[in-house]
Amino acid sequence: MARSYVREARRRVGPRRERIGSVVERLRAEHPDAGIALRFGSDVELLVSVMLSAQTTDVNVNRVTAKLFRTYRRPEDYLAVPQEELERDIYATGFFRQKAKAIRGTMTMLIEEYEGKVPRRIEELVRLPGVARKTANVVAAELGEPQGIVVDTHVRRLSQRLGFTRHDDPVKIERDLQRLVPRPDWRIFPHLLIWHGRRVCIARSPRCEDCVLTDLCPASRL
């Protein structure tokens, strides 16, 4: 019964390839302000912000970096102070010991191998200490060279509800999305889903009655 209901819902909205263009277009119109919420003024600041954002909110990171980036500007600045001082300066973002260690390791590698610059390729970014694929994806996309699609909890939930993936594993979801989403939209796509997930397609109780995607969504309650 449940399975036939899902099949019927999928039939109603049509194949995902035929829906993806309209979904992106409508979400762009609905959330013109969608984008990275972290504040940064350079490539290094972007990288540090994304590293600090693990397990905390962007608002919290922005609060900490507003002060941090006044004193730490170049990779060398993160190594010019004892680790304990950096830990204190990023304390409010949580997991401050691991984060300080990862940032210092990353800055060392930037200086030694990349002339103090942030590399653009995912394969290079994931070599930096404490930089996982998700961080690398975010950084590469914001630097103008998206090579993947960021999958966080909102992207996973909405991709499943919209019938873009049947997987639960972020790596498999990303693979499905890469096959589906046109490459020029790879940077903006996760932001659109994140914004929509926070404002409308909320985890516990999606507000389908206020959603611009109801006729394109197999999970619509309407």
The single residue of 152, 168, 169, 172 carrying the catalytic annotation is 152
**Which of 134, 168, 169, 210 is the catalytic position?**
134
Minimal distance in Å, beta carbon 197 to ligand SF4?
8
Give the residues lining the site for ligand SF4 (CB under 6 A).
Answer: 161-162, 200-201, 206-208, 211, 213-214, 217, 219-220
Minimum CB distance to ligand SF4 smaller for 183 or for 207: 207
Annotated catalytic residue 176: no
Shortest approach of ligand SF4 to residue 158 CB, angstroms? 6
Q: Which is nearer to ligand SF4, 131 or 213 (CB)?
A: 213
Cα angle 32, 41, 83 (rounded to 5 degrees) comes to 125
d(CA 203, CA 211): 14
Cα–Cα distances in Å, from 91 out to 18, 33, 121? 47, 30, 30
Distance, CA of 126 to chain centre: 15
3-state class (DSSP) for residue 59: helix
Nearest approach in angstroms of CB 61 to ligand SF4 is 27
Pick 119 or 197: Cβ nearer ligand SF4: 197
Q: Does residue 152 carry a catalytic annotation?
A: yes
CA separation for the pair 220, 207 (Å, rounded)? 9
Q: Which two three-digit tokens encode residue 222?
A: 């309407």
CB of 78 to ligand SF4, least distance (A): 41
Residue with tokens 């046109």: 182
Q: How far is the CB of 31 from ligand SF4 (least distance, A)?
A: 13
Closest CB to ligand SF4 among residues 99, 161: 161
Q: Which is nearer to ligand SF4, 115 or 168 (CB)?
A: 168
One-character DSSP codes across 131-190 = --HHHHHHHHHHTT---S----HHHHHHHHHTTS----SHHHHHHHHHHHS-GGGTTHHH
Between CA 199 and CA 164 the distance in angstroms is 20
Alpha-carbon Rg for the chain, nearest whole angstrom, is: 20
Provide the annotated active-site residues.
Answer: 134, 152
